[in-house]
Amino acid sequence: METLSYEMIINAPKQKVWDVLWNENTYSEWTQFFSPGSVMKSDWKVGGKTYFVNAEGEGMVSTIDSMEEPDQIIFKHLGMVDKEGNEDTESMQVKQWSGCFEKYILIDFGGKTKLHVEVQTEKEWQDHINTGFTQGLEVIKNLAEGKV
């Protein structure tokens, strides 16, 4: 398992950056580089269910491990979900990476926000994740700073 880290200084307060990250309208904009039409569906409860899915409804089922809005949120990935909504948390393929974390930490940085992201992933997904976050963080910055 690889742990990848990304940081971006954004000229906006933490709450604004948080809202850009998790608002259903802006979420699809910054995650398009992972998969066009991506959506996140969550009950926003620690220990509850969160789904990260593509336009066809396929993707990951996760849980919120901890959350302190607007300072940090940590997702723990549990398995896959298919387009019929069936969850797979038990197959050998899923068990190889189940339990990996995705962390978003927002730090006040002199009136700006330092957005720090950490993602645990398997080596074969590293290039895809790098591309998604490199391009996605630029979109987050532009949206939060009102440049779009």
**pLDDT confidence tier of residue 148, bands split at 50, 70 and 90:** low
Confidence at residue 1, expressed as pLDDT on a 0 to 100 scale: 86
- 35-93 tens-digit pLDDT: 999 999 999 999 999 999 999 999 999 999 999 999 999 999 999 999 998 999 999 98
Torsion of CA 58, 64, 67, 71, to 10 degrees: -40
119 and 129 Cβ atoms separated by less than 8 Å: yes
Please list, residue by residue across 61-95, b when 16 or more beta carbons sit within 10 angstroms of its beta carbon and e when fewer do.
Answer: bbbbbebeebebbbbbbbbbbeeeeeeeeeeeebe
Confidence at residue 56, expressed as pLDDT on a 0 to 100 scale: 93
- 5-37 tens-digit pLDDT: 999 999 999 999 999 999 999 999 999 999 999
Domain boundaries, the chain: 2-144
For every residue of 75-113, which 3-state class applies, written as one string? EEEEEEECCCCCEECCCHHHHCCCCCEEEEEEEEECCEE
89 and 98 Cβ atoms separated by less than 8 Å: yes
Q: Give the residue with greater pLDDT, 96 vs 72.
A: 72
76 and 62 Cβ atoms separated by less than 8 Å: yes
Q: Kindly report the number of other CB atoms within 10 A of residue 139's CB atom.
A: 18
Give, in degrees to the nearest 5, the angle at Cα 76 between 75 and 77. Answer: 110
Q: Kindly report the number of other CB atoms within 10 A of residue 120's CB atom.
A: 17
Confidence at residue 96, expressed as pLDDT on a 0 to 100 scale: 85
Confidence at residue 124, expressed as pLDDT on a 0 to 100 scale: 87
Write out the CATH class of domain 2-144. alpha beta
